[in-house]
Structure 1
Amino acid sequence: MTLTIYGLECKSTKKARQWLKKHEIPFVDRNIIKEPLTVNELQEILRRTVDGTDGIIATRSKIYKELNLDVEELSLQELLEILHEQPRLLKSPIIVDEKRLLIGYHEDEIRQFLPRSTRKSQWMNWRLNNFNLAEG
């Protein structure tokens, strides 16, 4: 299973990289400024999001404000082409593998990329520790 981080050189992307390295999860790192996402890659990411374009567009970014975009007025194809040309419009990082997608760095949500056996082991340890605390 190949895990890929699409990101900018920002704090959230750095945290995600550090977390994955700490947990020994191999990943491919792709700087979206140097190598922007293609329209097809953007379509695939959008297909997997729950929130559609709202989930991937950084509406608080400087470039979003400068471009004064009205996403509702654009066709999907126009929007995808703008996102390809202006990768700073994307939230960062975008972390994907064959089954999962995470937009941004969220310490609880990134755990989904841990192997199931590791998650189960950590959960059992947590449960055991909390059970012992409750008795002690």
Structure 2
Amino acid sequence: MKKIIFYSYLKCSTCRKAAKWLESKDFEFQLIDIVKEPPLVNYLNLALEQYSDDKKRIFNTRGKAFKTLNLDIDRLSKEIIQLLLSDGKLIKRPFLIYEGKKVILGFNEIEYAKDFI
């Protein structure tokens, strides 16, 4: 069985769609509330490695928490991790960890099919 850790915000419709898609394909996953328990530091570092060319993709740029900060993400470096840990609503969701080696952000059915099947 492939291991999937699924960080989600309960009020997020995109998160619900992603969970429904995973369930429809009979994938088992560990569901974690991203607001109560943000992703572990090593998972955030993995996301930064994967998205080093576009760090902004790790952020929930449409959310109120992000908009109030008025950040220049490209100028940030190590403080990104602390910033993301400070408020789970800043993190793009759903935030999935696949097999402990890959981060998948957001929900796109075509991308999920490519990554999981």
TM-score bracket, normalised by the shorter chain, equals 0.7 to 0.9
Q: Equivalent residue for 1:65?
A: 67
Three-state SS of the structure 1 residue aligned to 2:78 is: helix
Q: Equivalent residue for 1:103?
A: 105
TM-score normalised by length of structure 1: 0.74
Uncovered stretches (5+) of structure 2, i.e. residues with no partner: none
Q: Quick check: 1:2 aligned with 2:3?
A: yes
Uncovered stretches (5+) of structure 1, i.e. residues with no partner: 115-136
Q: Equivalent residue for 1:77?
A: 78
- In the alignment, the residues of structure 2 paired with residue 105 and residue 51 of structure 1 have an alpha-carbon distance, to the nearest angstrom, of 20
Higher-Rg member (1/2)? 1
1:56 is matched with which residue: 58, 82, 87?
A: 58
Three-state SS of the structure 2 residue aligned to 1:84 is: helix
Higher RCO structure, 1 or 2 (CA under 8 Å, sep 6+): 2
More strand by share: 2
Post-superposition shift, 1:72?
3.1
- In the alignment, the residues of structure 1 paired with residue 31 and residue 112 of structure 2 have an alpha-carbon distance, to the nearest angstrom, of 16
Residues 101 and 36 of structure 1: CA distance in aligned 2, closer, same or farther (over 3 Å): closer
Q: Name the count of aligned residue pairs.
A: 113
Identity within the alignment, %: 33
Q: Structure 2 matches for 1:32-51, cutoff 5 A?
A: 32-49=34-51, 51=53
1:79-104 Cα deviation digits (max 9, x unpaired): 11011001111111012212543211
